[in-house]
Amino acid sequence: MTPTQKLHDLGQSIWLDNITRDLLDSGTLKRYIDELSVTGLTSNPTIFERALEHSAAYDDAIHLGVAAGRTDETLFFDLAIDDLRRAADLFRPVHQQTNGVDGWVSLEVSPLLAYDTASTLKAATDIFARADRPNLHIKIPGTPQGLPAIEEATFAGVPVNVTLLFSREQYLAAADAWLRGVERRIEAGLDPDVRSVASIFISRWDVAVGKRVPGDMKNQLGIAIAQRAYAAARIVQASPRWQRAQNAGARPQRVLWASTGTKDPTASDTLYVKALAAPYTVNTIPEKTLLAFGDHGQLGAPMAIDGGDAEPVIARYTQAGIDVHALANKLQQDGAQSFVRSWKAMLARMSQKTNAAGNAT
């Protein structure tokens, strides 16, 4: 049995943190589904921008879009939605087999709308409707500005992948926003089964503190933060508030581990995959890390539902001068700014492609 199959059998969903037209056209994504137990995927503008730079797979569609007068951002969504529809169709069997628990793909709204709840909601509902696939999550950042949009999108029946969560506190705020949307649907007599995942970013913690702590403390903080958040999620799922919503027909918001590629070249290339194994969670894994785990990955014990040794580990970092709460906020703010930079870089690359297409006609 492959390591990825063992991880799947433990109860964790393996999603690919990548989507390109080449992956689809070559049959590689289908092979990952068949051979590496991949049951979903996530996307982001950086992945798309790199695909535009290094592949000609989109050139014909861009030419057609330019001829039809499509703008750069509109054309991006045309191309991205086409890719994600194809991927969603590949995952549709597992989506149906798991009654909607698994088999999801994700696409984000423009981060330029981050401070505008109404525009974010409109973009989320429009993208979901255009894609016309039941297994599409719309990614909305779990920043303070994004929380109202998460609630409103959930109330509107749009499945949300809450991104940019870096701590237990940020996770709890996002879970509360999602659950408020669910509860409002119950009060309105609407179906409360609006699926969601809460994406907690891991490796950026260890990158942020790597040069500030002794060698024996490297590559431990991200895992401890994940353990703390996982314990909080289990408490949420056992709470009377949640159980009332579940009794009305809602399904739990799953925790998703993001940023799980190892950044430290001296550490195991499957460090975070091994450490973050837990039932009813998702790990969205970069392609390189997925292949490494499929080749030589090993499973340890599943994550402890009470957080294990998270608190003593975090206390060591506090004693070393790391303000974990302040760093979580900084990582979220930096992540939001990085999303904007990535979005603008993607649009700039798209502009280069559309200009070239226009000059060629």
HSE at residue 205, side-chain half, CA atoms within 13 A, is 30
Spatial strand order of the sheet with 136-141 comes to: 38-42, 13-17, 281-285, 254-258, 196-201, 160-165, 136-141, 105-108
- Quick check: 296 pLDDT over 60? yes
CA distances from 200 to 175, 194, 260, 280, 302 (A): 12, 20, 10, 14, 17
Residue 276 lies in domain = 3-360
Active-site annotation holds for 353: no
> Structurally, how many domains does the chain consist of?
1
Q: Is 101 left (phi over 0), alpha (psi -120 to 50) or beta?
A: alpha
Work out the pLDDT band at 114, boundaries 50, 70, 90.
confident
Alpha-carbon span 359 to 67, nearest angstrom: 11
- Quick check: 118 pLDDT over 60? yes
Alpha-carbon span 117 to 336, nearest angstrom: 15
pLDDT by residue (tens digit) across 217-246? 999 999 999 999 999 999 999 999 999 999
Contact 124, 93 (CB under 8 A): no
pLDDT at position 360? 64
Determine the 3-state secondary structure of 14 from DSSP. Answer: strand
Which residue is it, tokens 């981060």? 111
- Residue 185 backbone dihedrals phi, psi, to 5 degrees: -65, -40
193 residue type, one letter: D
CA distances from 243 to 49, 112, 160, 238, 249 (A): 42, 36, 20, 7, 10
Contact 143, 114 (CB under 8 A): yes
The residues facing 140 across adjacent strands are 162
Work out the pLDDT band at 361, boundaries 50, 70, 90.
low
Q: Is 14 left (phi over 0), alpha (psi -120 to 50) or beta?
A: beta
Q: Provide mean pLDDT across the span 145-153.
A: 97
pTM of the model: 0.96
pLDDT at position 69? 84
Please identify which of the residues 30, 139, 211, 330 carries the catalytic annotation: 139
Residue 192 is part of a domain; what is its CATH number?
Answer: 3.20.20.70
pLDDT at position 68? 87
Lowest mean pLDDT among 65-69, 106-110, 243-247: 65-69
Distance of CA 65 to the CA centre of its chain: 28
